[in-house]
Structure 1
Amino acid sequence: MVVNSVHWFRKGLRLHDNPALQEALNGADTVRCVYILDPWFAGSANVGINRWRFLLESLEDLDSSLRKLDSRLFVVRGQPANVFPSLFKEWNVTRLTFEYDSEPYGKERDGAIIKMAQEFGVETIVRNSHTLYNLDRIVEMNNGSPPLTFKRFQALVNRLELPMKPLPTITQEQMSSCRTKIADNHDEHYSVPSLEELGFKTQGLDPAVWKGGESEALERLNKHLDRKAWVASFERARINMCSLIASPTGLSPYLRFGCLSCRVFYYNLRELYMKLRKHCSPPLSLFGQLLWREFFYAAGTNNPNFDRMEGNPICVQIPWDHNPEALAKWAEGSTGFPWIDAIMTQLRQEGWIHHLARHAVACFLTRGDLWISWESGMRVFEELLLDADWSVNAGSWMWLSCSAFFQQFFHCYCPVGFGRRTDPSGDYIRRYIPKLKDYPNRYIYEPWRAPESVQKAANCIVGVDYPKPMINHAEGSRLNIERMKQVYQQLSHYRGLSEQVKNIVIYNKNLGSRSEDSSDRKKSTSPVLIKGPMWPRHLMVGYSGRVQWGEVLSNNATDLCSPLRTVSLWFALLNTSHDHGLVSFHIV
């Protein structure tokens, strides 16, 4: 039987440690490596030009590596559901391979493609290599729900075997056993497009600080590991002026796009640590950083609403303000706080900022100063940040806004003091906000405090050449801490209430009956949230998009009253004693 394989690249843009690609080659007569690019998606505001440039450079590097093996990358325009039927027919495909995607959207997409492939008689092989561990196994070990604390996640990981060792890089010998049919017109139809072809204006675009591709990733990894003393003593919290600038050994975008295998990184670190016998323990070590990545992947794998507040069972429902004007000032680096503006300028220009710089601007936008939803900040990062990953990006924003994972809301990053401690001379600000370059160190973080004579001497008048602070930080942060305190007091109230609940009695007003028997209660797998003002005496329960009589999933009071846990029953408390003809649950 002739085996015609197609390997579908998505993430995992590499030839080293690529088990799904290895499966495509095994026993195949022909193989084609495909990347499906949706031209419409290129015009989306959710992905900025730096991210697109990094992706296209990664595809060009992958294509170059494949050509050295007498193959090539076929970049196909369209959407997977529309592209594959024609490819299956045209190339007589019998086998499709791709890397496992743990995120809900990816799982839904891949499920549809697998079903389609079956209809065409195409075998599908999926292999995991984007994460160190099998996330479904971690969820299973945690009784079917993702671990929501890093400590619990570590405990589960410690019970697992070491991650699978990475596979070797694809060789010429492997590729020579199966042909890639290449025609003269393939460059015309299947080449990697340019930014201009995708509709981007490149005039005035700064040179890339981060060059995309597997070749660059492996070169950076070698440089990274050559810094043995630094790697062995790495602690995440350390930061200074030099660490704020993009490093030639930085790896995060390469891990995000799969240009670098996380397993290759893990085992290289492990080997180095064993040689040096002196290293930090997670979560501060570099290995700990890989674990945080896995933690957020696990938290989001079965939660399609992980990237939003509404319908997200692990996210605290905080009444954020809606302020598009303030959001725009933050996103454009025009807040009037030089430390914040320098960070956002670097992000927009280069596509990367230090993780503690991310903490500073995220806190400023959300609970620290502006009281704007983390969802808005997450979308800006998704557009601008090279290493923005659906799970990690959303999880980090929930964490930094104290919406999940982290509740120390009283700790805020000062937009003046934090920067000053990090870079007392203000060189970072002068680099990214040249308008302020002539300000003396004393005023570089607070130019509005400079006397008029100093502002004139620096050729930068606050309120004219550089904006005034958009908010009084001391007052704003104090107010927001009080707001957050009220939110968590309310949560604490309902947790305390849950401990008092002994039983739930069902009242059916229309039928005039009362039932305490749960033997005939039906179960639903699609509970929905019914919103309403809060009052701790009446519960209204909905399932499958509507309220149903006398049905309850659980009489476990802890489940009912814990907004921070994935629960079998969602509910809303009403501010009225009337049940409006619906099922009413009274706490007794």
Structure 2
Amino acid sequence: MQHSSIHWFRKGLRLHDNPALLAAATDCCRLHPLFILDPSSSRVGANAWRFLLDALRDLDGRLREMGSRLFVVRGCPEEVFPHLFHAWGTTRLTFEVDPEPSARQRDTAVAKLAAQHGVEVVREVSHTLYDTERILALNDGKAPLTYKRLQSLLASLGPPEKPAPALMQEHLQGCCTPCQVSHDIDYGVPTLEELGQDPTKVGPHLYPGGETAALTRLDVHMERTAWVCGFKKPETEPTSLSPSTTVLSPYLKFGCLSVRTFWWRLDEVYQGVDWDDNPQHLRAWREGQTGYPFIDAIMTQLRSEGWIHHLARHAVACFLTRGDLWVSWEEGLKVFEELLLDADWSLNAGNWLWLSGSAFFHRYFHVYSPIAFGKKTDRDGAYIRKYLPILKDFPAEYIYEPWKAPRSVQERAGCLVGTHYPRPIVEHRAASERNMGRMKAARAQRGTKREPPAGPSAAKSQRKKPKVEQH
């Protein structure tokens, strides 16, 4: 059967992890995404109204990208639905479960109306991490009265369900949203003034509402892996001039951000930081084509002679793993196993574990500079000139950083960076600082020693993070 569906947005103002919306689009020939504004039932202030209207405009824009639209209707749901059921020929109504007492009463009344009109009702849990009815059932029908009891019940349920797929264009194949030219007049998102709100009463627009802003904000915070893993809410600051927490709560409240999406994104960070899968970077390192002459000279010597000094091994191992490229130590081990004359299995594996910071070694902020380290014993660059003859005519001041040489110098040396010799594949300082944060987060999650401890706020944790020691 091809349904004519209404998906009723209340909270859950998003397309990601919205199983009720997906249910509305299943076996559907006509879809009406609906939001009912009942200003008389709400006591929220102008800032909250602005946030809601932002969210509705964002939702309408995201639906429009897929050929659909949001229908905003004003009035009491119990009075609005009988008219819409008839006007739109509705056969199915879907919505997200709202556990609040007043919402439960409203939804029960609407479900009865739907039954009277022969409309199927589909309700899905996605505003809360767990189905609250299931928790009550596990607790003999009573609300758990302590946090410890709640944790015990949740432990018996296991992790929350994974988020549902976001609504995509393919979900709407064969499904249309009937829109008239007058849609914006008849069903558009109103302004604050149209809702009787005074625009002068709103404060600075610091937190725009909507799914787009929510997901962007989530991404920004999840990139701060060290801060996330070291986060302790009691140590945040109520007087910080910029928020010392995430300010994701409004987006969770309105459902612009799915709480399950938030939970599982946090779980990914807490599980540790995986090595990057970057065959291009691995190949450049192996072949001595990283754009850093000291590293490339070492790898050239290894490839041609089968031996390199132990500190040279330190430098290239650090560069491949935690220092710059964030490629797994196991990949480096394989290359050394193949090319070294003295490749002893236990020593090779142990040294790679150590140099990558994966085991035995806690000074993860001690990084071998691909520039400064070689200069300590070979300022003129004789080692580089021997193993990278393409660079032999560069002046000493540029031999470790040929990309900094003026073009005229490069021309006189007979080597144009980017043509005859590669540009650096990463920017060392930025890469090493980013990787230090990833290493710190991974070690914090494993409960190993952190150096130094996380600061009490986001701002302070950024200012006081351990400085990368360049050697």
TM bucket normalised to smaller: 0.5 to 0.7
Kindly tell me the number of residue pairs found equivalent between the two proteins: 276
User: What's 1:207 paired with?
Assistant: 204
Supply the distance in 2 between the matched residues of 1:235 and 1:30 (Cα, whole angstroms).
Answer: 48
Q: Distance in 2 between matches of 1:85 and 1:255?
A: 31
Q: d(CA) in 1 for partners of 2:172 and 2:245? A: 32
Deviations 1:63-112 (A, max 9, x none): 00000111100000101000000000000000000000111111111111
After superposition, residues 244-323 of structure 1 pair within 5 angstroms as: 245-246=242-243, 249-276=246-273
Structure 1 Cα separation of the partners of residues 209 and 221 of structure 2 = 17
Checking the alignment, whether the CA contact within 8 Å between 2:237 and 2:244 is kept in structure 1 is: no
Shift of 1:246: 3.2
Confirm or deny that 1:30 pairs with 2:27.
no
Is the partner of 1:16 in helix, strand or coil? Answer: coil
- The equivalent of 2:39 in structure 1 is 39
Other-structure match for 1:551: none
Of 18-27 and 197-206, more deviation after overlay is shown by 197-206
In the alignment, is residue 192 of structure 1 matched against residue 189 of structure 2? yes
Equivalent residue number for residue 83 of structure 2? 86
Percent identical among aligned pairs is 50
Q: 1:333-368 CA deviation, whole Å, 9 max, x = no partner? A: xxxxxxxxxxxxxxxxxxxxxxxxxxxxxxxxxxxx
**Contact persistence 2:162–2:260 (CA under 8 A):** yes
Match of 2:56 in 1: 59
Separation of aligned partners in 2, 1:205 and 1:20: 33
| Residues 134 and 248 (structure 1), Cα distance of their counterparts in 2 relative to 1, 3 Å cut | closer
Structure 2 counterpart of 1:138? 135
Which residue is 1:113 aligned to? 110
Partner of 1:71: 68
The separation in 2 between residues aligned to 1:231 and 1:160, in whole angstroms, is 25
The CA distance in 2 between the partners of 1:141 and 1:244, in whole Å, is 44
Letter in 2 for 1:251: L
Given that 2:12 and 2:254 are in contact with CA atoms closer than 8 Å, whether structure 1 keeps it comes out as yes
- The secondary structure found in structure 1 opposite 2:154 is helix
Per the alignment, residue 20 of structure 1 pairs with 20
Superposed displacement of residue 240, structure 1: 3.2
SS of structure 2 residue aligned to 1:275: coil
User: In the alignment, which residue of structure 2 is the partner of 1:222?
Assistant: 219
Determine the C-alpha separation between the residues in 2 that align with 1:126 and 1:7. 10
2:3 maps to 1:3: yes
Which structure has the larger Rg over C-alpha atoms?
2
Q: Provide the TM-score with structure 2 as the length reference.
A: 0.56
SS in 1 for 2:99: coil
Q: Using a 3 Å threshold, how does the CA distance of structure 1 residues 130 and 204 change in structure 2: closer, same or farther? A: closer
For the Cα contact (< 8 Å) 1:5–1:93, is it kept in 2? yes
Distance 1:90 1:8 in 2: 16
Partner of 2:293: none
Q: TM-score, normalised by structure 1?
A: 0.45
Structure 2 counterpart of 1:286? none
- The residue identity in structure 1 corresponding to 2:177 is T
Residue identity opposite 1:21 in structure 2? L
Q: Which runs of 5+ in 1 are unaligned?
A: 278-420, 423-588
Deviation for aligned residue 1:154: 0.4
| Post-superposition CA distance 1:310-334 (Å, at most 9, x none) | xxxxxxxxxxxxxxxxxxxxxxxxx
- State the 1:143 CA deviation: 1.5
- Aligned-residue CA RMSD (Å): 1.9
How far apart are the structure 2 equivalents of 1:29 and 1:38? 28
* Structure-2 separation of matches of 1:110 and 1:241: 38
Contact conserved, 1:232 with 1:276, CA < 8 A, in 2? no
1:262 Cα deviation after fit: 0.5
2:165 to 164, 168, 173: 168
In structure 2, list runs of 5 or more residues that go unmatched. 275-455, 458-471
Contact 1:223/1:249 (<8 A) preserved = no
* d(CA) in 2 for partners of 1:186, 1:159: 49
Contact 2:2 2:27 in 1 (8 A): no
The 3-state SS of whatever aligns with 1:269 is helix
Pick closer, same or farther for the CA change 1:204–1:129 going to 2, 3 Å: closer
Matched, 1:127 2:128: no
CA distance in 2, matches of 1:260, 1:83: 27
Cα deviation, 1:419-449, whole Å, max 9, x if unaligned, reads: xx99xxxxxxxxxxxxxxxxxxxxxxxxxxx
Name the one with the larger helix percent: 2
Structure 1 stretches of 4+ moved >6 Å: none
Change in 2 beyond 3 A, CA 1:204/1:167: closer
Higher relative contact order (CA 8 A, sep 6+): 2
Identify the residue that residue 532 of structure 1 maps to in structure 2: none
How many Å apart are 1:243 and its aligned residue? 4.2
